[in-house]
Amino acid sequence: MRVICPHNNQVHPRTADAIARYAPETVYLENTGLDGYDENISAYWDGSDDLVVIEQDKEITDEVLPAFRRCNQDWCSFAYRNFPEPYRKRVYTGLGCSFYSATIQRLVPPSEFTGPDPAWHPECKLCDGKGCWRTLDTRIAVSLVKRGIVTHVHGEIAHHHEYPEPVQWVRELVNTFKPDERLLQVASVCPACRSSLMFVNAGLNCSKCDFATIRDTDG
């Protein structure tokens, strides 16, 4: 099992300390440019071994790697809380602290989640739709869910990202993508109500019945 920590040259001290304690084998990879994150994930997404991603502001615990090692699921994560209050929500499909088996790496080629923004997603202003780090986690998640693979959540870890005050955060979020009235829709159906699944960046809940496409946690 390979463990990587993609970062923007500013790993949070508590992240670095936890990695040193509980995952000293971790390889630090600096994300350079808009597509640096995509390139780093793609370089290790080769199907030769299971892959664990720990982002630069996530604080793992001593439970994380043992849980991933003993689990027989192909896609696992430790959830974390995202966004400032009152918009905070629990994220479990992001790259933050995630496990991808060698099997699903061989099933899903990097070309499926890198490159230009997909047709189902509004165009990113930062990269003019050419593809960048902003929606990498969503693109990977969509590629897996389309194949019937869902996240097995093991628990929750701390997230140390510092957000601007809520009004400014909402303004920045709204300005992330070019105006587009399309919903983020994928050719997949909700296992609960059978409607087409609609996705948002921070989760994969059905927009009709709010069914959460995750497995039961094992603690």
pLDDT of residue 78: 96
Helix (H) or strand (E) holding 196: strand 196-198
User: Which pair of tokens denotes residue 27?
Assistant: 């390889």
Separation between Cα atoms, residue 131 and residue 133, nearest integer Å: 7
Separation between Cα atoms, residue 27 and residue 40, nearest integer Å: 11
Containing structural domain, residue 78: 2-215
pTM: 0.78
Q: What percent of the chain has pLDDT over 90?
A: 47
Phi and psi at residue 101, in whole multiples of 5°?
Answer: -70, 160
Residue range 129-139, pLDDT digits in tens: 777 777 888 88
Report the number of distinct structural domains present in the chain: 1
Q: How confident is the model at residue 213 (pLDDT cuts 50, 70, 90)?
A: very low
Q: What percent of the chain has pLDDT over 70?
A: 72
Radius of gyration of the chain (CA): 17
Residue range 72-95, pLDDT digits in tens: 999 999 999 887 777 677 888 889
Average pLDDT over residues 2-23: 96
Q: Is the pLDDT of residue 197 over 80?
A: no
pLDDT of residue 173: 64
The domain that holds 61 is classified in CATH as 3.90.550
CA nearest 139: which of 84, 195, 204? 204
